[in-house]
Each structure stands twice: as C-alpha cells, then as structure tokens.
Amino acid sequence: MTFVLSIVMPAYNEQDCIEKVVENWTDFLAKKFPGQPTTLIVINDGSKDRTGELLDRIKQTNSRLTVVHQKNGGHGNAVVHGYRKALELNSEYVFQTDSDDQFITDDFDKLWSRRQESDFILGYRQVRHDAGVRLFITKFLRNTISSIYGTYILDSNIPFRLIKGTFLQKLMDQLPNPEPFAPNIFLSVMAKKAGQKLLDIPITHKDRETGQVSIVKWTLWKVCIRSFKELMRFRLELNDKVKAIRSTN
C-alpha cells in the first residue's frame, strides 16, 4: 500500500492537548483525503505523563492514527524516527508538525497547493509566539547558516514542512552521523543546496497553552554552541552529500 500522505508528529508530555491535536489532524485527513490511505504518526518520546496512555486509547477507535513509543531521545530524534516510519509506510508525501497545538490544519493547504513547485516546502512563522530564548536561537541559527553556507533560510527548523517521500529518502540517506540535535535544519540546508525552492510560506503560529517546552532543559549557550559545532562540522561534508542527492534525481 502507498500512503498518499503521512503526518509525522513528535510528542513529549502533551497530555493536556494531545487528544485535541490528534482529533484535529485525523479529522482533517479524513475530510481532505476521503477514501485515500493517510495516517498521523505520533512518536511518543518517552513521555512521563499520560500522553502514551491517551494515544493508545485513541488508537483503538481511530484508524488514521499510528502510534510509536520510544525511549526519550529528544525532539529531533523523535522526528527522525517519524520520518523513517513514514518512509517505511511508502508515503508519497510526508508532512511534519508538532503536538503542542500551536499550528492550525487550515494552513496545510498553503503548502499542499504548491507541491508541484518543490519537493521540499517550508512554512514560516512570520508572527511567532514563543519564549525569547527560542526566538534568539532561531535568529542565531539563521545567521549561522547564512555565514557558514551562504544560504539564507527564514525558519530552517520549523515543524511545519511538506516533503515528497522520494526526496525525503534521499535526504535521510545523507543525514549526518551521529544524528544532529536538530535534524530538520540539516534537511533544510541540504534541500536548498540541492536546488529545491523552500518557498517559506507564511503560516499561523499560536500561543502555547499547555504542556512543557523541552528546550528549557538546555541552557541557551549549550544549544547554540552544540548547533554551531554541528553546522561547522557538516560544512566539510555538505558538497559530497548534495552531489549524492542530485545524482539520484
């Protein structure tokens, strides 16, 4: 079976909103793709609250929900596992978003309607409702990517992206090892360097009302320093990886 679309969604300690978010996105799939095989893949990243329990309960009556439980490995690790699961399901398109209820399903069509223009499309949080520390990290990464790679990407780590399955497989084959802290950044850089138009489509970003922000477990400087080191190291590999991606087109 080929899935028309798989949505990848990492989840960590989101018991207060996970039922609402899952219902929103699976209802959306049912209405947008009636009679077509689609699924919402939620990666429960070792949640310590009732997130996993709630997901298993919802799954019993929701045929469009796929649940994967894993030990806590962080947001990036959960995203990677979600992508691999989507590819395992032979997904024609893969969409990634988060479980914190900060995005709306209506914005999906802004990306979907332009899927013929690019194999890798990003949303862009033009008005972003996040803590100052997260805004600083985003700006730091944007400037770092620009200076290291000569590539300007507005929101390289945004969890609102649409990727053609065959192209995602090429990117995943070239993902750095060991796995980076924020793999979505590296996928974005490789995609743009490989010639994809990221489009940077403005989308809605809401205030976070529930759950916990995992980034608070790290200090600001640890995040920035680790990301900078990973991006610098990847600079030495990027050209070969982009050639490998283009050679399989």
Domain extent listing, the chain: 3-247
- Tell me what percent of the residues of the chain surpass a pLDDT of 70: 90
The whole-number average pLDDT for the span 20-34 is 98
CA separation (Å) from 85 to 5, 6, 63, 212, 246?
A: 12, 9, 16, 25, 24
Q: How far is the C-alpha of 108 from the C-alpha of 9, rounded, in Å? A: 14
Tokens of 148: 């290291």
- The CATH architecture annotation of domain 3-247 reads Alpha-Beta Complex (3.90)
pLDDT of residue 131: 63
pLDDT of residue 228: 84
* Closest residue by Cα to residue 79 from 166, 223, 186: 186
The whole-number average pLDDT for the span 28-38 is 97
pLDDT of residue 1: 85
Q: How far is the C-alpha of 55 from the C-alpha of 130, rounded, in Å? A: 26
Model confidence at 37: pLDDT above 90 = yes
* Closest residue by Cα to residue 73 from 51, 50, 44, 40: 44
**Amino acid code (one letter) for 211:** G
**Amino acid code (one letter) for 24:** N
pLDDT band at 141, cuts 50/70/90? confident
**Amino acid code (one letter) for 222:** K
Q: What is the pLDDT of residues 189-240, one digit of tens each?
A: 999 999 999 999 999 998 766 655 555 555 666 777 888 889 999 999 999 9
pLDDT of residue 222: 79
Residue listed under structure tokens 């914190």: 100
Model confidence at 56: pLDDT above 90 = yes
The better pLDDT of the pair 198, 145 is held by 198
Model confidence at 133: pLDDT above 80 = no
HEC profile for 89-149? CCEEEEEEECCCCCCCHHHHHHHHCCCCCCCEEEEEECCCCCCHHHHHHHHHHHHHHHHHH
Contact 13, 20 (CB under 8 A): no
The better pLDDT of the pair 119, 178 is held by 119
